[in-house]
Amino acid sequence: MSDAIFNVWSEVNWLTHPAVRWPLTTVYLVVLFLIAGYGLHRYWLVWLYYRSRRRIPRPKERFERLPSVTVQLPMYNEAQVARRVIDAACGLAYPADRLQIQVLDDSTDESVGIVRSRVEYWVARGVDIQLIHREHRTGYKAGALAEALPVAKGEFIVIFDADFVPGPDFIKRTIHYFTDPGVGMVQTRWDHLNRCDSLLTRSQAIFLDGHFQIEHTARNRSSRWINFNGTAGVWRREAIESAGGWQHDTLTEDVDLSYRSQLAGWRFVFLPRVCCPAELPPEINAFKAQQHRWTKGSIQTAKKLLPIVLRSHVPLRVKVEAFFHLTSPMVYLYVTLMALLLYPAFYVNMQPFESGSVGSLIIGMSVFSLGTASACMFHLVSQRELGRSVWATALQFPILMSVGIGIALNNARGCIEALLGWDSAFVRTPKYNTCAGSPDGSGRGTVIPTPSIKSWMIALEIGMGLYMLECVWLAVRSEGTILSLPFLLLFAGGYLYVGLGGLKSLWQGRRAAAASPLAAQLS
């Protein structure tokens, strides 16, 4: 097929006409420039991290009498993990007369009974625990948090998603930072219960480690802004209320409130040495649903708040970092555009210089160092700082890069939907409780349907994989393009891994839903 196309295209002289070549070249170079710009920002974050990592935050003093705290556990159809998180919250080491626990349950399945039974169990043992069950999901998670806040007793609010398992000392290790009256939120680092379960969970763990260990630390210790990550953090109640409270006009209510709170003058603290373990999505469609929500929500928040941040009187360094932080998901859209342009690049020279020239070599090396190499260095540094093997991490880079590329089409869709103002429901990430040592391991070996995953999207991902395989074949046959072969293979492998893995999970999920009403309800 490629031979026939090659012969036809070679005979069509207008493809090399400046009216065709230069528009394609312009688009291609703009995309490469944008990707390289965000790659350069990764280098900047690593430099900023090393420059400021020794500025370890410490409590201004310690509370003589510990303040009142409310722990909120928002959940929706979390039958697999509800018991575990409720038990962990009730096991927090904090004075009982100053600790309230709110279980914010919007469930519609049998987890309603599981949650109610567990709450009654702890009430009987003298724990101040309250079940707030809504018959609707207005505002989704943000709506549940907003409705519960007026009846919360605590001066400080601790939030855990259903798949998190806080240690008993979590509150005592974080609360004293609020002796500084300007601190509005304390965020801790996520750890991963099922990091080593599969190549997918290992990749996710490395992605998240980079976000927390490098990004959060660099920003926070250099007086730039960070965001609350939706869970495993502590809020000063006043910081929530003075910023306008929880709002649900974006899919990332946590990022939205974080920026509004910091605009109101509150400071945040990030504690990388305080870890709260949680479960990573163990199958590809659950991961895709999570990534789509995070990506779309970040761009929604950028549209909503970035103009306000840029017009505010905060320092320039804060504005610049806010821009890169909130718009960084756009890289997925740029990567998708670049992938689409790779095929015509075999027939039309999309560079301002002739192939093989010094100028062409400089552009190629610059794109590699700013795009690919920056991502590799970023994650190597994060793993090294966390005490993990640099060599073992380096060996995982092909898989890591393939997953990052493969998820790009899914996340590009989220960017486009946000830019166009298309609304979509808040789709919870399915929780499995697959971790070794869990009370029942009930989620192991099952696939929970993810309703937000569409068959047409999976078809597009598989189609992109085949498209990239055609590019691989052209690279093998064409002179002077063999150096691009490893990258084309990563693109093809990434799209096919995500697409075919999604197809398998979709089929397994539909079988599970047909066989078990519970599986269908959990979605």
Cβ within 8 Å of residue 362, ≥6 positions away? none
DSSP letter assigned to residue 191: E
233-236 and 156-159 strand pairing: antiparallel
Active site amino acids: 106, 254
CA–CA distance from 433 to each of 134, 165, 440, 445 (Å)? 24, 11, 8, 10
In whole angstroms, give the CA distance from residue 442 to residue 201: 18
Nearest to 59 by CA among 283, 289, 208, 271: 271
Nearest to 328 by CA among 278, 287, 384, 374: 374
Q: How many CA atoms lie within 13 A of 299 on its CB side?
A: 24
> What's the Rg (C-alpha) of the chain?
24
DSSP letter assigned to residue 164: B
Q: What does the DSSP assignment read for 373-401? A: HHHHHHHHHHHHHTT--HHHHHHTHHHHH
Burial 471-499 (b: 16+ CB within 10 A, else e): bbebbeeeeebeebeebbbbbbbbbbbbb
Nearest to 72 by CA among 10, 151, 168: 151
In whole angstroms, give the CA distance from residue 465 to residue 79: 36
**Amino acid found at 367:** V
